[in-house]
C-alpha cells in the first residue's frame, strides 16, 4: 500500500531490511579514530538520543548535545556517560529556528572544542496529521518549515565551516530525513510535514553540490518507522502498529556512514534508509553511481 503513497518502492531498494542495529552496523564493534567530535542537534530524546548513544558506543571522544529541551539532553548525556565514562560531553541549548541561537552554538563549539567531525541534524516537527490544505493551520505549517527546512539550513550555514576546517576529520553533515518527503497521498500525507521534509532533502542535495569538492560528505538518512514521542503524538492510530524500528537504528547507520571517510563517500548527496542492509547497499554501488540514484528528480 505504501508504494502507492509516492515513496517509489524505497522499502525494497535492497532485499533485506532491518529494525535494529546488526553485525555490520553494530557501533560496539566500531573503533572511531581519536579525537572524534560529534554535534547532534535534537538530541534530547528518541532518534537523536539514539544517535548520541551509538556514537558513545563507537568510542567518540566528544559529544555536543543540543536541543531546546535541556532536561532531555541531560538524560541523554547520562546514558552516554554510562556507556563510555571517558567521553567528553557538552550540553548546549539551541533553538534550531533561530539564526542567533545556531550561530551561538557554532561559536561555542569552535571556541571550546576546536574541531568537529560530524554534524547530525535531527530536530523535527510534524504537527497533527491534516490531509487537506483548507484544514491546515498556517502557524503549524510555518513551524514545520522553520524547524525541518530552515533549521537544517541554519545548521549548514554555521557549522559546515568547522567541519571543513577540522584537519583529518570525518567531514560529515547528516540530516535526519524521511521517506515522508516523497509522500503525496495516503493516510499520513500531511503536507506541512511532507513538504518541509522534501525541502530539507533538496537543501541537502545543494549542500552536497556546493561542498563535496572540499571534502564534505552530506547524507540524508531516513531513520525508519520509530515510535518516537512526535510519532506517538501525531500518527493516526491505524499507523502506530507499524512504528517498530529501534531509535538506535539510525544512530548505528550514521556511525557506519562516518567511521571511514573515503569508503562510502559515493553515497553523499543521496537519500538513504537506515533500514537498508549496508552490505547489500554497497553491492548496488555501480547502479547507484552510474544511474545517479536516490535523489529527488523530475522523471521524464
Write out the catalytic residue numbers: 193, 197
Q: Are 105 and 128 in contact (CB under 8 A)?
A: no
Q: Are 54 and 254 in contact (CB under 8 A)?
A: yes
| CA atoms of 2 and 64, how far apart (whole Å) | 36
Nearby residues of 27 by Cβ (< 8 Å), 6 or more positions away: 21, 54, 55, 57, 58, 251, 252, 255
The length of the chain is 300
Count of C-beta atoms within a 10 Å radius of residue 273: 25
| CA atoms of 92 and 180, how far apart (whole Å) | 29
177: nearest Cα among 44, 47, 66, 13: 47
Degrees (nearest 5) of the Cα angle 250, 159, 103?
Answer: 120
Handedness of CA 184, 290, 249, 21 (dihedral sign): positive
| CA atoms of 106 and 114, how far apart (whole Å) | 10
Degrees (nearest 5) of the Cα angle 221, 222, 224?
Answer: 140
Going by their DSSP bridges, the two strands 62-67 and 37-41 should be labelled as parallel
Helical spans, DSSP H, in the chain: 46-57, 70-83, 99-112, 138-144, 151-165, 191-211, 229-234, 247-258, 278-282, 285-291
Amino acid at each position: 500500500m505504501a508504494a502507492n503513497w509516492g515513496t517509489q518502492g524505497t522499502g525494497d531498494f535492497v532485499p533485506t531490511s532491518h529494525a535494529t542495529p546488526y553485525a555490520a552496523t553494530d557501533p560496539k564493534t566500531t573503533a572511531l579514530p581519536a579525537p572524534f567530535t560529534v554535534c547532534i542537534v535534537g538530541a534530547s530524546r528518541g532518534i537523536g538520543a539514539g544517535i548520541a548513544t551509538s556514537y558513545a558506543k563507537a568510542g567518540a571522544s566528544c559529544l555536543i548535545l543540543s536541543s531546546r529541551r535541556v532536561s532531555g539532553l541531560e538524560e541523554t548525556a547520562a546514558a552516554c556517560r554510562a556507556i563510555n565514562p571517558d567521553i567528553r560531553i557538552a550540553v548546549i541549548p539551541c533553538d534550531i529556528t533561530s539564526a542567533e541561537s545556531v550561530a551561538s552554538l557554532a561559536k561555542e563549539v569552535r571556541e571550546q572544542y576546536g574541531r568537529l567531525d560530524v554534524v547530525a541534524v535531527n530536530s523535527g516537527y510534524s504537527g497533527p496529521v491534516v490531509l487537506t490544505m483548507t484544514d491546515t493551520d498556517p502557524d503549524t505549517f510555518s513551524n514545520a518549515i522553520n524547524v525541518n527546512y530552515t533549521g537544517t539550513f541554519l545548521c549548514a550555514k554555521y557549522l559546515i565551516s568547522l567541519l571543513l576546517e577540522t584537519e583529518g576529520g570525518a567531514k560529515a553533515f547528516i540530516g535526519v530525513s524521511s521517506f515522508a518527503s516523497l509522500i503525496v497521498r495516503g493516510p499520513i500525507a500531511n503536507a506541512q510535514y511532507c513538504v518541509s521534509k522534501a525541502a530539507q532533502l533538496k537543501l541537502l542535495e545543494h549542500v552536497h553540490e556546493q561542498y563535496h569538492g572540499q571534502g564534505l560528505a552530506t547524507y540524508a538518512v531516513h531513520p525508519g518507522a520509530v515510535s518516537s514521542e512526535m510519532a506517538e503524538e501525531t500518527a493516526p492510530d491505524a499507523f502506530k502498529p507499524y512504528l517498530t524500528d529501534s531509535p538506535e537504528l539510525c544512530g548505528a547507520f550514521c556511525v557506519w556512514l562516518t567511521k571511514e571517510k573515503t569508503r562510502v563517500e559515493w553515497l553523499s548527496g543521496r537519500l538513504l534508509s537506515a533500514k537498508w542492509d549496508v552490505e547489500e547497499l554497497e553491492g548496488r554501488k555501480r547502479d547507484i553511481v552510474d544511474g545517479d540514484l536516490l535523489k529527488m528528480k523530475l522523471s521524464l
